[in-house]
Each structure stands twice: as structure tokens, then as C-alpha cells.
Structure 1
Amino acid sequence: MDRPGAVAELRAALTAFAGVYTGGEGRWCVALSGGPDSLALAAAAAPLRPTTALIVDHGLQPGSSAVASTAREQALSAGCVAAEILCIDIGTEGGPEAAARSARYRALDTAREGAPVLLAHTLDDQAETVLLGLGRGSGPRSIAGMRPYDPPWCRPLLGVRRAVTHRACAELGLTPWHDPHNADARFTRVRLRSEVLPLLEGALGGGVAEALARTATALREDTDTLDGIAADILAGIDGDPRTEALAPLPDAIRRRVIRGWLLAGGARGLTDKQIRAVDELVTRWRGQGGVAVTGDRARERLFARRTDGRLTLHREPV
């Protein structure tokens, strides 16, 4: 039997995704870079329901405005009802990649006007994300990868290989933009894509990307269950948590309760190392001082401490 066309495969993935997560009516937006993944996604989405392409121009590379204009033209020719170019200013917080990502998502969130936004992350992107999380040792949450649906963000192509989007562009006669950063070996993700994953595929006989994606799904299901239990416990805590109430909890639950409490208190970008250090204020108390965690306010530092048998949070000026 002949393999179905790439465009048909993408539309089947979109239809299945909508049936589970977003329903069959209403408009949606596509975050369009002009690259093969997002261009193929926009072209596949447009015949299914009214689709607006949102094109973020980061202004970081020469000719970015021309890339954005070409992407807009191709989106409209593919059937999108509208295509809007979003020019953004990028800060420096968290480094250039993190700052660009934060600015991009803020712009998309503002421009979507209540509609869900389709993101063109593929199964290959998911596999790379799992490997990145594994290498950083950030715990199961990072290895669980990207969620298919994290409102308003939708990732309908997480079960589709990147090669399919490239074939879809060829079927439709679209000429995608190829970001030179995607071939720059200075970036860790590029080296994973071009060196590590092919090596693993060869050593293990293929199917590694799919196996990593399945691992992400299994871990995400387990993590969601444990997070739900921890959320119920945290909801029953009145004020700052007592260490004597936290100590008997299973390790995985207790650390999730601590994470939820830290986030509610203004912590951001928590690492597994930070959470475990706060956990030791409960389980290995030796009179140690506070644990610094990343907070949500500039020019302030956030500390978790153990005070009179309770965990407490304190802010101090930098």
C-alpha cells in the first residue's frame, strides 16, 4: 500500500488533535517562522478552519524582515485568512535564547485574541527536548518533554517526524526558510540533532526518536498524577507548611508539595537542585541557613528557611 501523502498525514494529525483538545469549530492561529515545520503546519491547518498566521520578527538576523514578509505571503497563498507580522524587542534576562523565547510567547499571547495557537514542534523536537533534560539532570519534569496541549499552546505534530513537514512543503510547492542557527554547532540542540541522535539511531538499530517521545509521554502521565496528589495536599495547608507534616510524605510527593509552595510564594524557574535543597530543610535539618531560589522580582533575592518548625519564605534586596 502506498504511503499517504505528507500533507494528508499532517491534516490527519491536526484533525485527531482537534477532536481531543480543541473541538471542531472556531478559529486558530499558527506561530509561523517561515521554516518547513511551521510553514507546513500553516498550510495543512488553513483548509480545516479559519487560520491566522502569526509571524514573529525577532530582528536578530540580517534580512529578518524579508523572511517575515515572505512567510506572510506564503501563508496567505496557502489559505490562511490573515497573516500578521509581530516585531518584538528582546531583553537579556536568562540569556539570549531564553529572552527571545519569552518575548516570542508574550507577543503570540497578545496577538492571538483568545484563539488557540498551534506550534510546529515535531516528534524530533520532543526527542531532542528529552535528551536535553536528561543531560541537565533536571528531574523527571524536564524529561517529560513538551505537552501536546498547554492552553493556549497546541502541539499537534508531536507524533509526526520532521521529515514529513519537509515533504509536505515539497508537495505544496512551498519554499521554506532555513534558519542558519539550526545548522550552527555552537548550539547544544543542533549538536544533538546532527551528531548525538544519528549516533544513537545507528548504535541502537533505529527507532530512538520514537522511543524517547514515548518515554516523555509515560513520564508526563506519571508526573501529572503525582502533581495532582501534591496539589490536593498543598490546598489543605493553612499558611506556611509545618515540617512535621511534610516529613512523613513520600519523597516524590513531598518535593512536589514544596515546589508548589515555592511557586505560590513567588519562585520562578526552579531547578531540581533548589527543590532538593529546600527538601533537606525538612528531612535533614542540621540548623542550616536559608536556600536561595530564583524569585519573580528584580533586585530581590528569595530565600526559603526553616523557622520554628515551619518552612518560610523571605525576600532580601540584592
Structure 2
Amino acid sequence: MARRPRLLPAVGTARNLLGASLEGILTGSVADGSAGLPLVLVACSGGTDSLALAAVAAHLVHTGRARVGAVVVDHGLQPDSHAIAERAAGAARTLGLDPVHVYRVEVRREGMGPEAAARSARYAALDDAAVTLGASAVLLGHTLDDQAEQVLLGLARGSGTRSLAGMPARRGLYVRPFLELRRADTEAICGFYGLEPWHDPTNLDPAFARSRVRAEVLPFLEDRLGPGIAQALARSARILGQDADHLSELSHRAYTGMRIEGDDGEVLLPEDGLRALPAALRQRVLALAALELGAFQPSAERLRAAESLLERKGSAGPVQLGGGVSVNRQVRGRSVLRGEPGYGNLVLGNNGAGVKKSRRPTQE
């Protein structure tokens, strides 16, 4: 009788990480039938990380803890993207995942860079698949190395706490169980299962900042500062993530408490209330108002310009926050709020053509 191959330590670790990340979703016991089991979807590109995740997630099927399917998004950005997507789907089916769907999307730039545009199209497809199939979670294969790269990119852009916190382990339906695994671990897992991943050529294309960080910057830092840089960056992301979550909660609470609805759909923020807030919360409250009205995340420079209106005397502004959203200090003699006209509020409105007001922001 042939001996079963010894379990690779990385596989055992990955299974434990996956189980912990899906706590509260998995049944925790072997079921007689699969009809009532939760459905978990793997976002599978066919690359090393996502194939390793698909292989580890398949263990949930074998142990009767969940149904596991896969979604492959074909961005159409490679000449042979259709064949690459079908190959990834075939690998997922061979691992025992079901259902497996290929979504073909059109990547529209619309003022975004190529990476951001592809990401937007990808998440739209994953959102649709999760709703259509009734998934309880969508698994993403980002690793500790991806997290370290994200932090370095945030530092290079001069980003704030939320961006430097990197990618969350969980947000809504999206779960990243491998944020404590190295890329070398996912390569070993693919080798253990005999999988042949697709290697995206853009990962080494120096035209992309992330590729330069991966191929040049991180290896340089490891060489000059010693090993453990990636782990240290990921650790910083976890710490900053906790800080960002706390600041986000406080700012949402402050915004909800001071937000006033104007007559013409504007959002009014009392100046006294804004001045009483610490700068870290004040800028976040201004950003929440802008986001509610349909803006993209305003830059730090735009938020500081809006904040400077509090230092002006008389009517002032407008300051443009993007997406047709502007902010000004309330004009004397014009009542945008039911009641007496006068100063005392920053007024945010959206005059952008064709831009619809968004829903009230919710806690991230």
C-alpha cells in the first residue's frame, strides 16, 4: 500500500489560516449533504497565490465544511487572456471546486490608471458573482509580500493612516486568509499539489510602480537593512489598521452628530463643531461629507484647503473637492438651511453634471 505524502508544513499553516479567517461561516463538522453548506468563492487568476488558495480551500469541500467555487475574471488585457482564464478555470475544477465561472469584463480607464481600472472592473465582477451565487465569502490570495509592497507604495505617495494600513484581512464579503504567508509559501503549496501557475508578465514590468517595488525596492531593502523587512512592514500595517479603524469610528460618529441637511441637497457642517475636533477627525469628517455627495476620496491638499475656510472671515470659497463637489463658507444673507441666514457653517454641495449624490457613508 502506497504511503500518503507527508503534509507540507506550509499547507497545514495555510489550512489553519483559512479556517480562522472563515470563523463563523464554516459549519465546523462533516455534513451528510452539501445543499445546506455555505458557499465560499475563490477569486482565481491562475497565478501562484490564487491557485494555492484554491487548493487549500478545496480541503473545506473534502471535509464537508463548505461548498467552494471559483470566479475567474478575464480582463482582456493580454492577447491570450481568454486561454489564460479558461486554464485557471480548468485548474479550479480539477481541484474539485464547483461552481466555477469565468467573467469577461471591459476595463474602462475613465480617469483612472490601468491598475486601478482593472481592479475596479474585477471587483465589480466579483460583487456580481457573490450576489448571483449567494456566496458567504469571497477569498482573495494576497500574501504578506503583497501587504509589504502596498505599505511601501503608500509611503511613496505620502498617504495617510488608512492607506498605510494596507489591505484588511476582512472587509464585507472579502476575506484575505494568506496575509501572514510569504509568496515562497504559496509557491511551495502549488508544488505540493502539482499545480502549474500562470505568471503574469506585468508583475515584472518596470512600467508599473508595484512591479518595481517587488523586483527592486524590497530586495534592495532586504539586502541593505537585513532580512525581515517585509514582515516588519506587514506588522506596521496591522498596527496602523487598528488606529485607522478607531479613527474611522470616531469620525463617523462625529459626522453623524453634526451633519445638517440643507434646502438644496447640500450638507452643512457647523464651524464650531468642526473647530472643536482634532485635525485628524476634522479632515475625515470633511472627507465623509464629500464622499456622501459623490466625490472620490479627496486628496490631503484639498482637505487642508477646505479646512482653511475655518480661518477666514466672511464668505469664502468655493474649494473644489473633486467629482463636482465643492465647499464654501456660508454666505451672509442666503439661507441654505431652514431658519435664519448667516455665517456658522461650511456648506458642501455637488454641482457636477450627471453626478448623483451617493448614499450616506457607512462604517468601513
- Secondary structure of residue in 2 paired with 1:212: helix
CA contact (8 A) 2:293 2:325 kept: no
Q: How does 1:145-294 map to 2 (within 5 A)?
A: 145-239=166-260, 240-282=268-310, 284-285=311-312, 288-294=316-322
Residue of structure 1 equivalent to 2:154: 133
| 1:260-306 superposed Cα distances (whole Å, 9 cap, x missing partner) | 22222222232222222222222x326652221222xxxxx221111
Structure 1 residues 202, 22: CA separation in 2 closer, same or farther (over 3 Å shift)?
Answer: farther
Residue of structure 1 equivalent to 2:106: 89
CA contact (8 A) 2:326 2:348 kept: yes
* Deviation for aligned residue 1:220: 1.0
**C-alpha separation in 2, matches of 1:288 and 1:201:** 50
Amino acid at match of 1:260: L
- Which moved further from structure 2: 29-38 or 76-85? 76-85
- Which moved further from structure 2: 34-43 or 108-117? 108-117
* Deviation for aligned residue 1:3: 9.8
**C-alpha separation in 2, matches of 1:12 and 1:179:** 28
Unaligned runs of 5+ in 1: 296-300
Amino acid at match of 1:185: P
Residue of structure 2 equivalent to 1:123: 144
Amino acid at match of 2:120: S
- Counterpart pick for 2:347 among 300, 312, 318: 312
**C-alpha separation in 2, matches of 1:105 and 1:120:** 14
Indicate yes or no: 2:29 matched with 1:12. Answer: no
**C-alpha separation in 2, matches of 1:157 and 1:227:** 25
CA contact (8 A) 1:76 1:83 kept: yes
- Which moved further from structure 2: 89-98 or 200-209? 89-98
CA contact (8 A) 1:51 1:81 kept: yes
**C-alpha separation in 2, matches of 1:6 and 1:317:** 52
Residue of structure 2 equivalent to 1:298: none
Q: How does 1:38-57 map to 2 (within 5 A)?
A: 38-48=50-60, 49-57=66-74
**C-alpha separation in 1, matches of 2:161 and 2:352:** 33
Amino acid at match of 2:240: L
Amino acid at match of 1:145: G
- Secondary structure of residue in 2 paired with 1:236: helix
- Which moved further from structure 2: 218-227 or 265-274? 265-274
* Deviation for aligned residue 1:36: 0.5
Q: Which structure would you say has the larger Rg?
A: 2
**C-alpha separation in 2, matches of 1:79 and 1:272:** 47
**C-alpha separation in 1, matches of 2:316 and 2:329:** 9
CA contact (8 A) 1:59 1:87 kept: yes
**C-alpha separation in 2, matches of 1:285 and 1:23:** 56
- Which moved further from structure 2: 175-184 or 231-240? 231-240
**C-alpha separation in 1, matches of 2:322 and 2:40:** 35
**C-alpha separation in 1, matches of 2:164 and 2:58:** 32
Indicate yes or no: 2:81 matched with 1:64. Answer: yes
| 1:95-146 superposed Cα distances (whole Å, 9 cap, x missing partner) | 3221111111101110123311101111000001011111101211111111
Identity %: 45
Indicate yes or no: 2:113 matched with 1:109. Answer: no
Amino acid at match of 1:56: V
TM-score by length of 1: 0.92
* Deviation for aligned residue 1:23: 4.4
- Secondary structure of residue in 2 paired with 1:156: coil
Residue of structure 1 equivalent to 2:333: none
**For the aligned residues, what is the CA RMSD?**
1.8
**C-alpha separation in 2, matches of 1:90 and 1:211:** 34
Structure 1 residues 95, 205: CA separation in 2 closer, same or farther (over 3 Å shift)?
Answer: closer
- Secondary structure of residue in 1 paired with 2:272: helix
Higher helix fraction (1 or 2): 1
TM-score by length of 2: 0.81
Unaligned runs of 5+ in 2: 1-5, 28-36, 61-65, 261-267, 331-342, 354-364
- Which moved further from structure 2: 264-273 or 215-224? 264-273
